[in-house]
Amino acid sequence: MMNGDVRVPRAVRFSRYGGPEVLEVVQVPRPSPGPGQVLVKVIVAPVNPGEIGIREGVFADLWPAAFPEGQGNDLAGQVVEVGQDVMGFAPGDEVVGYAPRRAQADYVVHDAATLARKPPVLCWEEAAPLSAVGVTAWAGVEAVLPRPGETVVVSAAAGGVGVLAAQLARLRGATVVGTVGPHNLDFARSLGITPVLHGPGLAERLRAAAPNGVDAFIDTFGAGNVQAAIDLGVPPRRINTIADGAAVRRYGVRSQAQEDAFSPELVERLAALVGERRLSVPIHAVYPLERVRDAYVELARRHTRGKIVLSLVLSPDDGPQAG
């Protein structure tokens, strides 16, 4: 659903490193697409854990901010204008995109060559995360190459990346054991995942859940999960982490993520799986853009089930809404 054209475009910005209090929703000029670009009216933009680290300055040496900095990476929306030399897209097309540090805005200029189509059967909320967590989950599964009959462990299997990685591993015929919190035990079971509580003593619980051994391990959370995989005898080449750089350096485990796998074709392939209901994208909550600070406060608690997303068509009084 759309609420018409936005007359005074908005965007999330921060002008110094810090907590969610540095985030502001400000008025910005409406951008115009250049050659090979399209202008997308953003409908939904997810929030992601890595964006917290960028905003707090944790990655300032690697990815410094250019204040005032934008925020958000993935989005779903509708093409409203096309630039010169654009073939294949027209105003009204529903799309999924990846626009680093720019996605949380009413309008985003996007290269047409890296834009994916959103199937009409998908709602905006489930389509928007596919170019980030969807592709990241795919990369993690590809890195460890699960085979039918093998046992794969996925850490944080109810989180944004983990819940998709677990499902994708199951689609390959693997038995999936997922680490979750106590409130997500039944949720994991509903997706065909064998749940195991995270926390101290994890390796022992995983041995009990997988008495024939663990063949591969996909870590989406850090906090000692790679060490647990090593303790279980999983070969480093079949361990992938997106959250423990120290373990990558120490053990030589893999670290495949979004940037290693992204393509519009892959996003559309994932969207097709969602459209066929072979892959579920759980939505934990939907916040209006003006409540972006609250969305990140909730995300930082790390107890979400699936994704938290921002809606750019809800009014401030409408949210948050449970997914």
Return the pLDDT at 323. 60
Paired sense of beta strands 216-219 and 151-154, if any: parallel
* Residue owning tokens 């720019």: 102
Answer whether CATH 3.40.50.2300 is correct for domain 133-259. Answer: no
| pTM of the predicted structure, to 2 decimals | 0.94
Same fold, 10-129+282-322 and 133-259: no
pLDDT of 3 reads 43
Classified by CATH at the fold level, domain 10-129+282-322 comes out as: Quinone Oxidoreductase; Chain A, domain 1 (3.90.180)
User: Phi then psi for 228, rounded to 5 degrees?
Assistant: -60, -40
Closest to 98 (Cα-Cα) out of 75, 117, 118:
75
Q: Is there a contact between 268 and 117 (Cβ–Cβ < 8 Å)?
A: yes
Q: Give me the tens of pLDDT residue by residue for the chain, a chain 323 residues long.
A: 344 455 789 999 999 999 999 999 999 999 999 999 999 999 999 999 999 999 999 999 988 999 999 999 999 999 999 999 999 999 999 999 999 999 999 999 999 999 999 999 999 999 999 999 999 999 999 999 999 999 999 999 999 999 999 999 999 999 999 999 999 999 999 999 999 999 999 999 999 999 999 999 999 999 999 999 999 999 999 999 999 999 999 999 999 999 999 999 999 999 999 999 999 999 999 999 999 999 999 999 988 899 999 999 987 766 566 66
Residue ranges per structural domain of the chain: 10-129+282-322, 133-259
Listed in sequence order, the residues at least 6 apart from 259 whose beta carbon sits closer than 8 Å to its beta carbon are none
Locus of tokens 């393509």 = 263
Query: Exposure of 33 by Cβ count < 10 A (0-12 exposed, 13-18 middle, 19+ buried)?
Result: buried
